[in-house]
Amino acid sequence: MNTLHHAAKTTGLSRRDLLAAAGVASLGALGCASVASSRSSAPAAPPAIAPSAVAPVVAPVVAPAMATAPAASGPFTLPLLPYADNALDPLISSQTLGFHHGKHHQTYVNNLNKAVAGTALAEMALEKIIATTAGVADKSAVYNNAAQHWNHSFYWQSLRAQGGGVPPLLLRQEIEAAFGSLEGCRKEMLAAATSQFGSGWAWLVLDGGRLAVTKTGNADSPLTRGQKPLLTIDVWEHAYYLDYQNRRTDYVAAVFDKLLNWEFAAGNLAAG
C-alpha cells in the first residue's frame, strides 16, 4: 500500500509507530480492538524502573516510574505495560496482552476502587490492603481485587522481550544453591505452574533467606505467607488461552525460556 508501508521501509519505524505518529489511534484496525487508545502512548521501551526501587514493598511496583492510564476514579490506577503490547509477540501475542492488561487487569483496578470507596481502605497502600483483608470473610472482594492488582503489576515486570537465558551471577548462585541448577529451578517452576488446579500463579520467592518455588490459587499472594516474591507467572487461562488454548505447559515453558526478566528478579533479591 501505501505511504505507511513505504515509510516503514525507509525509516525503520514499525507500521504501528507510524500510525501512532500519524495520529491514527485506532489499534482496532490492527486487530487490537480491545486495547484502549491510550495504549498508543505506551512507551516502546521499558521505563527506567530500578529493580531496587521495586522491592520490598508493593507500592513501587505501581510507582510513578510506571506511568498510569487516565480515567481512574479512585486511588488505584492501571499501570501502563513496561513494553509495547507487541513486544512479547508471538510468545504472548498483542491480542492476549490487550485483553489481559486492558480488560482483566483494568477490571481488577476498577473493582478495587469501587470496593474501597468511602472506607478507610481507600487511604491504605495496596500491600497494606492485602495484608489487612487476607482471610477476612466479608472482605474477600477487596482482597481478591487488591491482590490481583498487585499480582498483575508484578507479572508485567516479570516478563521482558528477549528474556529468559542465564540469570545474573548472584541470582544464579542462589538458584544453584536452592535447586542444584537453573534446570532444576525450571523443572520446579513448570511443575508448580502445571499442577496448580484451576486459576492461579507460579512464583519464585525468597523464603527464610532461601529461594523457593511456590504456587497460589486464584488471587492469593505469597506476601500473606511471609515470602518475598521475586518473579511470577500467571497461569489463569486468560493469560494464555488465545495463544496456547489448553497447552499451559507450552506457555509456561515459553515464558521461562524466553520471557522471564531475570534482572527484575535479581533486583528484588538484592533488595530483599
The answer to the question of residue 99 lying near Mn ion (CB under 5 A) is no
The answer to the question of residue 220 lying near Mn ion (CB under 5 A) is no
Tell me how far CA of residue 149 lies from CA of 104, 105, 131, 132, 230, in angstroms: 10, 7, 14, 15, 16
Asked whether 37 and 76 are in contact (CB, 8 A), the reply is no
The answer to the question of residue 188 lying near Mn ion (CB under 5 A) is no
The answer to the question of residue 174 lying near Mn ion (CB under 5 A) is no
Q: How far is CA 19 from the centre of its chain?
A: 26
Burial of 70 (0-12, 13-18, 19+ CB in 10 A): exposed
Min CB(81)–Mn ion separation in Å: 13
Min CB(101)–Mn ion separation in Å: 9
Residue nearest to Mn ion (CB): 234
Handedness of CA 210, 212, 217, 218 (dihedral sign): positive
Question: For residues 203 and 236, which CB has a smaller minimum distance to Mn ion in the complex?
Answer: 236
The answer to the question of residue 234 lying near Mn ion (CB under 5 A) is yes
How many other β-carbons are positioned within 10 Å of the β-carbon of residue 140?
Answer: 14
Min CB(66)–Mn ion separation in Å: 17
Min CB(141)–Mn ion separation in Å: 17
What DSSP element (H or E) covers 231? strand 228-234
The answer to the question of residue 143 lying near Mn ion (CB under 5 A) is no
Question: For residues 150 and 179, which CB has a smaller minimum distance to Mn ion in the complex?
Answer: 150
Identify the residue among 236, 244, 262, 264 touching Mn ion (CB under 5 A).
236
The residue behind cell 545474573 is: 168
Per CB under 5 A, which of residues 238..257 are in contact with Mn ion? 239
Cell (9 digits) for 253: 515453558
Binding part of the chain for Mn ion, among 66-74, 121-129, 178-186, 228-236 by CB under 5 A, reads 228-236
The residues that touch Mn ion, with contacts defined as CB under 5 A, are: 234, 236, 239
